[in-house]
Amino acid sequence: MANLPKRPVPVFPLPGVVLFPNAVMPLHIFELRYRTMVRDALSGERMIALATLKPGWEADYQGSPAFHEIGCVAEFEEVNWLPNDCYDLRLRGVIRARFTKVAREFPYRACEVELMRSSPYDEDDPLAGMEREALLETTRALLPLGERFWTSPPLAPQGADFETIVNTIAQASRLPTEARLELLGIDSVFDRARRLHELLENISIGPASPPESDLGRN
C-alpha cells in the first residue's frame, strides 16, 4: 500500500462520484481552487480525498456544500499539466476514510480523516474464490449493457486480489450513488462482494437512463 496521509487531506467533493480503494478514476481539473489543490498536493504527499456531495449541493457549490462523511483517499498515478493551466489526472484509490473535522476551508477544504481499513481475510479462502467467481459471472452477463450501466470496462488487473476485483466492479458500475456509498461503507470484503452481487442481480434490463454525473469533470 502507498504511504498513508500524515496530515489533513485536501478534499475534492463531486456530485455522484464514489471512489473505491485500488480502483482508478480520471479527472479533469479546471476550477482555480482545485488547480491550487493539485499544485499543493504535488508539493506535499501527492494525495487528495474524493468525497461525494450531498443532495442540494447546487445551491452552495461555489461555497462549502456538504458532502458525505465517508470517502476515499487517493494518490496521483498520472498528472498531465495542460497549456491552459488545467490538469488531467489519473487517481488510484488508496484507502477508505471518514472525514472527522474540517481543518481548513480556503481556498479548498482539507479534512482530518479516520482511515478505514477493510477487515482482514485470507486470499486463499475457498469462500473468497466462490464469491469472486459468482460476482465475475454476473458481471460478464451485464457486460452487453455497455455504457447504459458501465462508466468504463469493469476489468481488474491480471492477478488482482479479491478486494481489488470487488472494488473495480463497483467503481465501474452506474449503480445509484446511495448504493455505491453503501458499498464503500462496508468493512468486510465478503459482505461488500455479496451486497454488490445482490445489487447487480437486481438490475432490470430496461430503457437506458442517463448517467448521474460526468465522472471525468469537476
Q: What is the pLDDT of residues 152-175, one digit of tens each?
A: 999 888 889 999 999 999 999 999
pLDDT score, position 156: 86
87 and 171 assigned to the same domain = no
How does pLDDT run across 18-58, given as a tens digit for each residue? 999 999 999 999 999 999 999 999 999 999 999 999 998 87
Residue 1 lies in a domain: no
More confident residue, 195 or 209: 195
112 and 133 assigned to the same domain = no
Residue 83 lies in a domain: yes
- HSE-CB of 54 using CA atoms within 13 angstroms: 8
- HSE-CB of 148 using CA atoms within 13 angstroms: 12
Residue 27 lies in a domain: yes
111 and 13 assigned to the same domain = yes
* Number of domains the chain is built from: 2
Query: Which stretch of DSSP H or E encloses residue 170?
Result: helix 162-172
How does pLDDT run across 54-73, given as a tens digit for each residue? 998 878 877 789 999 999 99
Q: What is the CATH number of the domain that holds 92?
A: 2.30.130.40
Cα angle for residues 108, 111, 117 (degrees, 5° grid): 135
**Per-residue pLDDT for 76 more than 90?**
yes
Cell numbers for 147, please give them: 455504457
More confident residue, 6 or 99: 99
**Per-residue pLDDT for 210 more than 60?**
no
186 and 97 assigned to the same domain = no
Residue 20 lies in a domain: yes
Which residues make Cβ contacts (< 8 Å) with residue 53, sequence separation at least 6? 13, 14, 15, 16, 65, 66, 67, 68
Closest by CA position to 25, among listed 98, 89, 95: 89
- HSE-CB of 118 using CA atoms within 13 angstroms: 24
Closest by CA position to 117, among listed 187, 47, 48: 187
pLDDT score, position 2: 57
112 and 148 assigned to the same domain = no
112 and 130 assigned to the same domain = no
175 and 93 assigned to the same domain = no
Domain that holds residue 186: 126-201
132 and 65 assigned to the same domain = no
Q: Supply the mean pLDDT for the chain.
A: 90
Q: What is the mean pLDDT of residues 5-15?
A: 91
